[in-house]
Amino acid sequence: MEGTNGQDGRRGPVRLRPYQQDAIARLRARVRAGVRRLIIVAPTGSGKTTIAAHVIAGAVARGSRVLFMAHRRELIHQAYGRLIDLGVPEASLGVLMGRDPRWRPGAPVQVASVDTLRHRARPLADIVFVDECHRATAKTYRDIADGYPDALHLGLTATPFRASGGGLGDVYDELLVVASPQELIDQGYLVAPRVFTVPEEDLPDLSGVRTRQGDYEPGALEAAVNRKGLVGNLVDHWTRHAKGVRTVAFAVSVAHSRHIAARFQEAGVAAEHLDGATPLAERDAILRRLDAGEITVVSNAMVLAEGWDQPAVKCAILARPTKSLGLYLQQAGRILRPWDDQQAIILDHGGCV
């Protein structure tokens, strides 16, 4: 999502789009009808956090207390900033995330990191939001949710199913579908990608890679894809179809991601790598350089598939084969926000499309 808008996530005044207004109206109607556990489903880039922030702002104005949970700091910053944009006073907003200085335990809205919240006293809440709620079946999320038996529980996701392909019906009761990707493309809020695949002989051999929890086993998958010829093909394919376009590459592992970045560098392309162990200040600096055009390619290992938004990045290299529809949609969706009339390009090297 909006990971490049500064630590507080602010973007300026928020004006709801028609489909967002319609979604909020339908949500309120379902709540009035007695629904207490509902998922708001909308494509990556559609503004799910804006919808949530508008609902939260209205709830606070009516005297309700709200807990908004997310698993990444970028999502915490984004939600906080969007609430400020919608006029919620900073004094009414608290952040529960490590040693974040915005800790205000008496504030009616708490924007919380799941990892932090599991070790802290639970704030009071009449409404509990879970961002990226396809994760809500995990024990940590369930334990937190169980502490709010009388609250209204609302989830946000583009992919309302587990990695294994199962549904979320044991956590939520209804889905509210905001809009389909095609509808938002037709309305100009997303861009249709141009997809380039490679011949079957240039795809990794996955015949010996087992499936675990609905997707390829990571260790064996890394061995299958982190090969000199396959990684070299990424660079050649990019040079033919997306040369000069700011790009994100999705790798299987840290070693695979570093290998991809190194091959781009050998080809004279300004490229960098980041992963979950990259210090936060360094990660932010890399993404700022990408946003400024100082580098062209950022390769990553399971960091930028969620909670990140840089509309100027208009090419995605899918170097990580996956059986997970959710992961594929998250990765591909990162480049679909309109920017400067540029075409979105997907280079599929995992047989995902």
What's the maximum distance between 2 C-alpha atoms anywhere in the chain? 61
Query: Quick one: average pLDDT of 85-110?
Result: 95
Q: Output the CA–CA distances (angstroms, integers) from residue 316 to 62, 129, 191, 195, 312, in the order listed.
A: 43, 30, 13, 10, 12
State how far the Cα of 262 lies from the Cα of 257, in Å rounded to an integer: 9
CB 297 within 8 A of CB 264: yes
Share above pLDDT 90 across residues of the chain, in percent, rounded to a whole number: 82
Token pair belonging to 172: 């939520």
pTM for the model: 0.88
Percent above pLDDT 70 for the chain: 95
pLDDT at 325: 87
For the ranges 20-24, 169-173, 295-299, which has the lowest average pLDDT? 169-173
pLDDT of residue 1: 35
Q: What is the pLDDT of residue 15?
A: 85
Where do you find CATH 3.40.50.300 in the chain? Answer: 18-186, 193-348
Alpha-carbon gap, residue 45 to 213, rounded angstroms: 27
Q: What confidence tier does 2 reach under pLDDT thresholds 50, 70, 90?
A: very low
Query: What mean pLDDT do residues 80-85 have?
Result: 93
How far is Cα 314 from Cα 306, in angstroms, rounded to an integer? 16
Query: Has residue 9 got a pLDDT over 80?
Result: no
Do 102 and 42 form a contact (C-beta atoms < 8 A)? no
Question: What does the alpha-carbon distance between residue 217 and residue 54 come to, in Å, rounded to a whole number?
Answer: 40
pLDDT > 60? residue 8: no
Burial class of residue 34, CB neighbours in 10 A (0-12, 13-18, 19+): exposed
Strand-pair partners of 154: 38, 129
Mean pLDDT across the chain: 92
3-state SS, residue 132: coil
Which residues, at least 6 apart from 166, have a Cβ–Cβ distance to it below 8 Å? none
CATH code reported for the domain at 18-186: 3.40.50.300
Higher pLDDT among residues 307 and 253, named by residue: 253
66 contacts 107 by C-beta, under 8 angstroms: no
Residue whose pair of structure tokens reads 């990707």 in the numeric block: 181
Inter-CA distances, 48 with 245, 246, 306, Å: 27, 25, 13
Instruction: Say how far apart CA 267 and CA 248 lie, in whole Å.
Output: 16
**Residue 55, number of CB atoms within 10 A of its CB:** 22
- Topology of 193-348 in CATH? Rossmann fold (3.40.50)
- The reported pLDDT for the residue numbered 10 is 54
Q: Measured between alpha carbons, how far is 147 from 9 in angstroms, rounded to an integer?
A: 29
- Mind listing the pLDDT tens digit for each residue in 124-173? 999 999 999 998 888 999 999 999 999 999 999 998 876 656 678 888 99
